[in-house]
Each structure stands twice: as structure tokens, then as C-alpha cells.
Structure 1
Amino acid sequence: MSDEHSGVALSSAGHPWIKTPNLDAFAASGSRFSSAYTNSPICIPARASFTTGRYTHATRHWDNALPYTGSPKGWTHLLRDAGYDVTSIGKLHFRNETDDTGFSRQIEPMHVVNGVGDLLGAVRDPLPVRHKAKSMSEEIGIGESSYTQYDRRIADASVDWIREHASQDGWVLFSSFVAPHFPLIAPEEFASRYRLEDVPLPKLHRAEDRNDHPWVSALRTCFPHDIHFNDDLRRRALLSYAGLCSFMDWNFQRICDAIEAEGLADEALVIYTSDHGDNMGTRALWGKSTLYEEAARVPMLVRAPGHNLRKVVATQASLVDVAPTLLEWMGLDVPRDWPGRSLVQMAEQPDDLTRPAFSEYHAAGAKTGAYMLRRGPWKLIHYVDMQPQLFDLDADPEELVDLVPGGQHDSVVQELTLALRAIVDVEAQDRQAKADQHALVELHGGRQAVVERGGFGATPAPGLKPKFA
């Protein structure tokens, strides 16, 4: 797993200039899910869904101050308790290292700050202004950061683990990296693969070119990243993001090379994904937190030896599908209340374009709860107490034309809204999220105390302290 690697930021997915040759070759030897999504475009909720096989509204890990503590149990517990070794290396972003989150051991783990995380993200009514957002524009360039150094250690430890346990039966290794998460500082070896003059400006970065949805306007006011950017800085930021994608591509290949060298390529199930994507400056947005393709779509690449997998799978998938995939591969039963399906099964069967993918967002910058349902070409984004958005991703993959105004697609909106409501009571869960967050903020001294303390941006690498603003 990487962090903030958008599903559109793969050359095999059609990105015109970001280079991911190793991931592309891996996808060509197995399967690439062309429409895979995070279940919530922010770290803790996404990783809780990934671990438990359940949606955010079912686990109530709404934001980055409600970290996973081991409940409800996930694939980690089920595999470990069945006698398998389940090891994590790298970023987990759980509460701490001592909670029983199902791993047999944690190596070089990254967890939330002080066991609490980003309390400012739980303040929602009204939304605060995240002044730390300025650091996004200040930490851009070529070189090494604490994150890239951390990722190198994760890759080293993963390679060592595979070498030391190649002959051991029955284990699962979860290697979790930080790249291409900001700060947008890319090692020279990978940044040098790109030329600044070849980097286009992000779509809809100019206010006069876009017709903002009010929910998105509120998010941008809360996270005023883009006011600190000019066109040159936008290009440099995108070059660094691309360099970090290529850096992640290289780290991934190191692990694949170790699997090959130890003779495990014919028996090891390998999955690559990310917790969520990144807006990459589109619509003057940076980071995650939206349900547009850049932030909500994730890479989902699978190689399953002994199975005849199709190269590109159009069936919609999401992070909750990883848990049943792992259990089935290791011979365990999948809990009946899990909404996911085995990725291997989906890749073996004909495309099912009626299967929906679901995502939701209740965290930092969300004026109200936001929900996404993708089914076939259609993508509905439902905002509580606001007008929804509808996109036809076959005709409009860049999501430039919202089909809700004018009412010509009302029947599609109604049909998808009913399908969404069959998954979640959108108003009830919006109220539940806000109530849980209000209680958490009150527990830590109330709104004023949390806002005055400020935010710290990204969780620091292990051994470093956060800087609040």
C-alpha cells in the first residue's frame, strides 16, 4: 500500500506523462482494476475499511482523530488467529503499537500523533481555516525528506523479511509506504525523469474556468492550499508528485524482485493499492478529501499465480474487497456481513458493470457528509442538504460536466440515489458522524481549545515531532 497515489496516476491507466513502468509491467502480468476506489478519501477511515472489510459508517472511524484500535476485528485478526503470521512494515496510522490490531508484529510502524491524531479535522460546524495548509506550497522540491528516508527503510525491511521467511509456510506481509504523500519532495533520481516544461497545469485550477459546487468551495476555504501557489509552483509540485510516484514504483519493484529471487513468484498473491488518491491541483485543490476521480480512485493491481486473470477488469472495486481476497486465498471463510468480494474471483469472471463502488467522506473540510456511488459509467456524488452531482465517466472521464443541472438525467439520479440509500442512511450517518466528532472535541477541551491548538499537517515519520500551526 502506498499513500495518496491516485488511481489516475499510472501510465497503464492512461496518464499522459507520469511514469510507473514497474507497476505497469506488474499489471500486465496480472490484473488492473480500472475503476477501483477508496471507501473514504482520507487516511484513518480508508485504512479502517481496508483492515476491517467494512464501510466507514459501519466502523465509525470518521476522520483522522478516530484511529483504529482493533475493533471491529478485521482480516488481520482472522488470519493471525487461524495460525498465520501477519506482519506489518511501515505506515499503519492506527492509535498505537500496543492495541491488538491483529498483527503478529509491527516493524517501523507509523501511528497517529500522541495516540489522538488530527483533532482539528473533527471540528466541522462551522469549519475552521487550516492555516498549516500553507506548508504544502513551502515543502516542494528535489531531494530527500523524512518520508522518503522512511520509505527506503520500509523497502529494506520488506526485502529482508521476504528473504528470511521465504521457506516459511503461511504468512502475510503488509508493506505500507508513505509516497507519494506530501511533502512534495522527490529524490533526484526519480524527479530527473521529468522536465518542468513538459508538466501541464492542472485542469480547472483557474476560478474562471470552473463552476464550483458549494461543498467544494467550503472545502477549499477550510484548506486554502492554492492561494499560496503560482503557475510555476503548481508545475514544480506536480513534477515532485510524479517523481514520488516513480519512487514508489521503484520501491514496489524491489519487493517484487525479492519475491522472484526467493522463488515465490509462482505461489505468492501480490496486491498493490493505495489508501486514497490526491487532487493534484485540479480545481485548485491539493491533497485528498474529495470524491472526484483524482482523490477517490486508487490503483488496484493483483497477481494471483495459478489463476487466469484478465489484464484489465472493469468491474468496480474498492478497498473493502481486499479483506475477502486475503481470507479466501488463505482458505478462510469470509464473514457474511462484509460487503466486499474477492478480487481474484472478480478478475476471473466477466465484467459486472452493475456492481457499485461506494465511498463516503465526513472528515476535515466536509461541511456535510458526502457519499459516492459509482455504477457502470455513472457516478453520483450525494451531499447531505445540498444538490448532488452526476457524471458520465465514459463520455466525460475528467468530470467537467455535471449532469444534474437542467434535470435531463433526473431518472439516473433517482435510481442511483435509491441504490445509495440501500447501502447507507445518508442523513442518519451524517448526524452520527457529527455527534461523535462533537463529543470527541468536547473531550479534548472544546472547539476553541482545539482550534487554538491548530493542526500539524501530515503525521511525522517515526521519531520526529509534529509542528502545529
Structure 2
Amino acid sequence: MTAHNMIVLMSDEHASNIMGCAGHPFIKTPHLDRLAARGTLFESAYTNAPICVPARASFATGKYGHQTGHWDNATPYTGEPKSWGHYLQQNGNPVGSIGKLHYRNESDPVGLDFQQIPMHLVNGVGDVLGCVREPMPRRWKARDLADSAGAGETSYTTYDRNITDAACAWIAERGNEPASDKPWTVFISMVAPHFPLTAPQEFYDLYKDMDLKPTKPAREDDHPWLKALRHCFVYDNFNEERTQAALTGYFGLISFMDYNVGRILDAIEAAGLNDNTNVIYVSDHGDNMGERGMWGKSNMYEEAAAIPMIMAGPDVPGGKVSKTPVSLADVFPTVLDCAGLSADDPELPGRSLFQIAAEEDCPNRAVFSEYHAAGAMSGAFMIRKGPWKYIYYTGLNPQLFNLDTDPAEINDLGTAPEHDAIRAELHAELLKVCDPDAVDRQAKTDQAAIIEKHGGVEAVLERGGFGATPAPGAKADFVASKGAIA
């Protein structure tokens, strides 16, 4: 395989099936669809952690959060262990980023030659409130999601426009440069469709006359882990009108993001780079979209844990849909493979997407995700293999779903006696990855140290949470959680 340039496009909170090319009945994503038409769509792709900071750490390092100590939105990537960018730098390949990174700060040696308009953790610290899990606080700031839903512009939409402008300008400059035997890599990371669910008017209007509502309500007999998550994030102000506005905003933001992707794809073509540049599109995690009474992410249902993943360009089969399960950890070896490099590291769990796309489907490949952050009463661990999704919760009953016969994940087989054998098989797969109970203990130990560093539980509750990380130049708006412990 000849070494080529690589562009990695990332959105934030884009659920895997909300694309035309993924079979969605009404979403308008013409530019992602055209990328898939000339490349390979990985239909069973997953985040390694359904929350921003640890997901992006796995993306950078190619390793799972428990391998590297990235548990939550207060444990950012700081440059250790090595990222794919470090390998590129060591080989003399130009590499940089434009847009959201969600690492600790701009000065850490994270393997990037440049960072244009980056977004990093608030004050280099992030969401310490998410480390408080026993007892569970209530996050009142979550109510802003319903209140802010609608049509309009936000600092995030302005930021995404600026990211797109900068990306198109950077790509145009590359088109004027002579070819090099050291191909470049650029990571272009946008915020949409991350909340606030306020979409620019023209994109909001695409869906404003539709009857939009969740299809799966919260259940009284739901798993206790999920009940605790819903209790932590306070979404009690989602009436019918606010729900309609939020979903209209979410779909509008996806089409807004797709429009920006289209501008970038057009810039690649205009610069004459299509024949020597590979493009990956991915999101850091999905979004619950009101299903089961939840918004945001933070769980292992398909809405939150499954992500879109598309790759196109040289050496990628066109018009293919791969059924092999993949994850963000697979991006690391893919980026290096594109540059003609590899990492001699036996602890890397991923494989190059170039290899996976070129092979026959392997639906029995196992992929892994974990969650230890805000709202998690204990560690949650997922194994996806074949039609099965197994979710292990430390100290609680597991969940099990057959995604072939029950794609909506309604029928929980986690304690069904007739599925003892498949649960045992999938738990054995989990144990190949980690000891989940030991990982849960380590996460809580590390989080307790972070809480103590910031003055203890009462001080962290008093400081509270701020919802979403603000765009560069904006300030975080904290809301206290003191006195609201569940």
C-alpha cells in the first residue's frame, strides 16, 4: 500500500444511524452519503467510552481508558502514552489539528505540530463533579438542554463555521505544495451535533414541521444502573413541546455538520487531493435523543455507544458496507497504516481499517467499550460480538441483547436462564480485555484522589457542574450540586 495523506473528520455526539447512508428515513446528510458512496461504511462501529474526554483519549492513544487511566471528563489526555501523532512526528510526517481536541491544554506534547483554534478542558481541569459517584449527585445543569433547544446560532455553531473555514484554507494551501514522500495528517474536529440543541434556522427548518418524538419510553422495571443515571441527570423539564424542539434541533445540527463536511470535501477536491488523500469520518460517541428518558450519552445502548464510521480514498473499497465490528481504537493503526508506518506495541488492541475493509466480513470480531464517569453508580463494560451485546455492571446484574432480533434493545436477556451459555462466552471475552471489578476499583480510587485534590466532595458539589465545555473565548457556567445528593 502506498503512503497517502490522511484527513480525520470528527463530529461530537452523532448517533450511528442518523445518516442517509445508514438507512435513516428522513435525515438529510448528502455529503456524508457521498463519502460513503465512494468508500466503506462500517455499520457496527463503537466508541470505547460514551463520553467525550476518555473517548478522545482512546482515539489518540489507540488504547482503552482502563489501560491509560482516562476515566471521565476530568482525566484528559496529556501526551502519555504515545499518540498516533507522536509516531508521525518521529518519522518526519507533518501532523496537526483544527478544532476541538478536549485534551488538557494546548501546551502538552500530544503529538501535534500545530493546533488551530483548539478546544480543551475548562481550566485544564474539566468536570470534577463527574468523579463524584458515591453518593450520586444530581446534575441540575442538565435542565438547560431542554430550555435551550430551538432555532438560532450559538457559540458552538460559530465555532464550527470557523473550524470549517480554517480547514478549507489549510487544505487549499496543501494543494499548492509539491508532493512529498512524507504525507501529512490533519485532524479536523467539529462540535455539532453536541448540545445545546440549537440549530441554525435554515437547518432547523428542514425538520420543524415533522412530528418528532422518542420511540422508547423509560420503564419502571428498568435496570437499576440506568435508573441511577436518569436520576443524576435532571431532564424533568422535557415536555412534548421541548422534546419536539430538541429533536428538531438535533437533526438540524446533524445537517449543519454535514454541510460543513461537504465544504471540506469540496476543498479536498478543489485542491486536487482526492487521489492521494484518505478521509475518515467518525464521531466520539452517540446521543440518546430522548430514548428511554435519556439525553446526551453515558450508557451502552446503541444510541449512545454506536458511532458512524466511514473511510474513503485510495486503497479503500468503494460502495462497501462492512459488517465487521470496529471501534475508535482502530483509528490509531489506520492513521499509521496510511502513512506507511506501524507501532510496535503489543498493548494496542486495534487493527487498521484498511485491512478490515479489504477483508471478508468478520461479524464475530469482539469490540469493547467502558464507562466510569458522571451518573455511573458502578463501572459499565460492553462487549459486542456477532448479534450479541453484553453489558456487565460491577455489582449488578448484566444486560444482554440480540441486535439481530431486537435492534431496539427492548428485550433484556441479562438474567434469562436459557442464555447462560452465551453470557458465559461473552463474559470470557470481557475477561480477555480486563478484570472489570478490578478496573472499577481503580477508577474509583483515582477519582477519589482527584476529588480530594479539589477540596473534597463538599467543595466539588458546591462548585458544581457546567454542562458542555465552552467554545474558545467563552466561559463555563457552573451550577452547584450541593444538597442534591441521591
Range of TM-score over shorter length = over 0.9
1:117 is aligned to 2:126: yes
1:332 aligned residue? 341
- Please state whether the residue corresponding to 1:266 is helix, strand or coil: helix
- Tell me which residue corresponds to 1:299: 308
Secondary structure, counterpart of 1:408 in structure 2: helix
The amino acid of 2:478's aligned partner reads: F
Code of the aligned partner of 1:314 = K
Q: Structure 1: where are the runs of 5+ without partners?
A: none
The separation in 1 between residues aligned to 2:429 and 2:313, in whole angstroms, is 32
Q: Look up the match of 2:452.
A: 442
Distance (whole Å) between structure 2 residues aligned to residue 329 and residue 186 of structure 1: 35
> Is the counterpart of residue 314 in structure 1 residue 314 in structure 2?
no
Cα distance in structure 2, aligned partners of 1:161 and 1:16: 35
> Would you identify which runs of 4 or more consecutive aligned residues in structure 1 move more than 6 Å?
none
Aligned with residue 218 of structure 1, among 224, 228, 234: 228
| Counterpart contact for 2:316–2:357, Cα < 8 Å | no
Q: Is 2:199 the partner of 1:186?
A: yes
Q: Give the partner amino acid of 2:194.
A: H
TM-fit CA distance, 1:310: 5.7
When structure 1 is superposed on structure 2, of 18-27 and 62-71 the one drifting more is: 18-27
- The normalised TM-score by structure 1 is 0.97
In the aligned structure 2, how far is the partner of 1:404 from the partner of 1:279? 21
Cα deviation, residue 405, structure 1: 3.5
How many angstroms apart in 2 are the aligned matches of 1:420 and 1:309? Answer: 33
Partner of 1:352: 362
CA shift at 1:309, angstroms?
Answer: 4.8
The aligned amino acid for 1:341 is: R
- 1:452 corresponds in structure 2 to 462
Instruction: Specify whether residues 113 and 88 from structure 1 end up closer, same or farther in structure 2 by C-alpha distance, changes over 3 A only.
Output: same
Distance 1:320 1:348 in 2: 18
Q: Name the counterpart of 1:201.
A: 213
Which whole-Å CA distance do the structure 1 matches of 2:36 and 2:293 have between them? 31
Equivalent positions of 1:136-147 (< 5 A) are 136-147=145-156
1:21: how far off? 1.6
RMSD: 1.1
TM-score, normalising length: structure 2: 0.94
Q: Residue 275 of structure 1: CA displacement?
A: 0.5
Which of 40, 49, 56 does residue 58 from structure 2 map onto? 49
1:362 aligns with 2:372: yes
Question: Partners in 2 of 1:322 and 1:131 — Cα distance?
Answer: 35
* 1:239 match: 248
Deviations 1:341-396 (A, max 9, x none): 01111011000112111000000000000000000100001101100111000111
Distance in structure 2 (CA, Å) of the matches to 1:406 and 1:349 = 35
Instruction: Report matched runs for 1:242-257 at 5 Å.
Output: 242-257=251-266
> Per the alignment, do residues 104 and 306 of structure 1 end up closer, same or farther by CA in structure 2, a change over 3 Å counting?
same
Percent of residue pairs bearing the same amino acid type: 55
Which of 63, 69, 73 lines up with 2:78 in the alignment?
A: 69
In the alignment, is the contact (CA less than 8 A) between 1:194 and 1:243 conserved in 2?
yes
For the 8 Å contact 1:69–1:94, the answer to whether it is kept is: yes
1:148 aligned partner: 157
Contact 1:266 1:306 in 2 (8 A): no
Q: How many Å apart are 1:41 and its aligned residue?
A: 0.3
Q: Give secondary structure in 2 for the equivalent of 1:409.
A: helix
* Secondary structure, aligned partner of 2:166: helix
Separation (CA, whole Å) in 1 of partners of 2:301 and 2:75: 24
Residue equivalent to 1:92: 101
Residue 317 of structure 1 and its aligned partner are, at CA, apart by 0.2
Residue 72 (structure 1) shift:
0.5
Q: Which residue of 2 aligns with 1:24?
A: 33
**Structure 2: how far apart are the matches of 1:439 and 1:255?**
43
Alpha-carbon distance in 2 for matches of 1:308, 1:185? 36
How many pairs align?
Answer: 465
Please state how far the C-alpha of 1:210 moved relative to its aligned partner.
5.7
